[in-house]
């Protein structure tokens, strides 16, 4: 069994990006600049955005954090997005999800300039992805592809089962794994809350990508020997014995599933750090695109 080490691979990617940034600096060019908008004070979202800003510093990017109150109106947020769209100094930006209920998420995603949409959530970019055109691929699916590629995990002709059809992970992942090329060329089954007899489906999978958010959902008896198991779950589970009062728990019963798997991602230290590295990669691509 091989652990797909997201900490190591994301560090490698950050080092590669830092080298590119150094070359830009040496030539006197402007370095990439990522902005992030966060609305409200959800603890998990603040942590994720904080990690994104810290990662920018680590590779030499400029970063801007825009914090807006929980009572921000839709129009105030759309104004801020327009400001970032128009600001030539910003190469890419993200609006951290989820948003408070008074704001229509679809309207917000549509307002982001697709050329600066480093999350790859705008329908233009999502459509390009589905049509194999060059674009920003959403960071979490992009990170999973990168892990599979760098560990040389075979995907061609394999049966990939994706659990969860979220717009951020499950849906794009199901498209990407079926695309021509590597990683890709697999036969994909997308499962969700209405899927019947999920164990029958997962136990036929060569590759399982679980993006459900239900701690320890995937048990050893749902997985066949030598399966590749990718765990996208990052649920905070109350744990009085931990200093933070919670532990981050994945969708996969790691202790037992890892005994059967050929490759598996841990939580934490698997897909999570890859998401941040690929957001930086998308920002670098946005910078290069704007320079041309
Ligand atoms: N919320 C959970 N994951 C993500 C992500 O990748 N991007 C944004 N903007 N919000 C998120």
pLDDT tens sequence across 218-246:
999 999 999 999 999 999 999 999 999 99
- For ligand 1, atom 8, name the residue with the nearest CA: 96
Please write the tens of the pLDDT for every residue from 76-132: 999 999 999 999 999 999 999 999 999 999 999 999 999 999 999 999 999 999 999
Ligand 1 atom with the shortest distance to the CA of 36: 9
Q: What beta strand segments (E) does 14-90 contain? A: 33-39, 62-68
Q: List, by residue range, all CATH 3.40.50.720 domains of the chain.
A: 139-272
CA of 97 to the centre of ligand 1 (A): 5
Tell me if residue 119 is catalytic.
Answer: yes
Residues 91, 119, 206, 231: which is the catalytic one? 119
The model carries a pTM of 0.97
- CATH 3.40.50.10860 residue spans of the chain: 27-113
Average pLDDT over the chain, rounded to an integer: 97
Contact 205, 161 (CB under 8 A): yes
Average pLDDT of the segment spanning 31-42? 97
Residue 75: exposure state from Cβ atoms within 10 A (0-12, 13-18, ≥19): exposed
pLDDT for residue 291: 78
Q: Assess whether 96 carries a catalytic annotation.
A: yes
Ligand 1 center–CA 162 separation, angstroms: 19
Name the active-site residue from 96, 116, 158, 281. Answer: 96
pLDDT for res 290: 86
CATH number of 27-113: 3.40.50.10860
CATH 3.30.450.20 fits 139-272, yes or no: no
């Amino acid at each position: 069994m091989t652990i797909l080490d997201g900490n190591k691979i994301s560090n490698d990617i950050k080092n590669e990006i830092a080298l590119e940034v150094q070359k830009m600096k040496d030539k006197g060019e402007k370095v990439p600049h990522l902005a992030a908008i966060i609305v409200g004070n959800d603890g998990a979202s603040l942590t994720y955005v904080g990690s994104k800003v810290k990662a920018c510093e680590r590779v030499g990017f400029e970063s801007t954090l825009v914090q807006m109150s929980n009572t921000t109106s839709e129009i105030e947020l759309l104004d801020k997005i327009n400001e970032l769209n128009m600001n030539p100094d910003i190469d890419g930006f993200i609006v951290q999800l989820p948003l408070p209920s008074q704001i229509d998420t679809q309207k917000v995603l549509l307002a982001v300039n697709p050329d600066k949409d480093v999350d790859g959530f705008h329908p233009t970019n999502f459509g390009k992805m589905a049509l194999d055109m060059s674009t920003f691929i959403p960071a979490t699916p992009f990170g999973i592809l990168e892990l599979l590629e760098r560990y040389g995990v075979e995907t061609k002709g394999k049966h990939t089962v994706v659990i969860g059809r979220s717009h951020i992970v499950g849906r794009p992942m199901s498209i990407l794994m079926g695309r021509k090329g590597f990683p890709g060329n697999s036969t994909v089954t997308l499962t969700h809350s209405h899927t019947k007899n999920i164990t029958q489906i997962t136990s036929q999978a060569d590759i399982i990508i679980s993006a459900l958010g239900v701690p320890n959902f995937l048990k050893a008896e749902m997985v066949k020997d030598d399966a590749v198991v990718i765990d996208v779950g990052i649920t905070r589970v109350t744990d009085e014995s931990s200093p933070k009062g919670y532990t981050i728990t994945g969708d996969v019963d790691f202790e037992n599933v890892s005994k059967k798997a050929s490759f598996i991602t841990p939580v934490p230290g698997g897909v999570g750090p890859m998401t941040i590295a690929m957001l930086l990669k998308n920002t670098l691509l946005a910078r290069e695109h704007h320079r041309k």
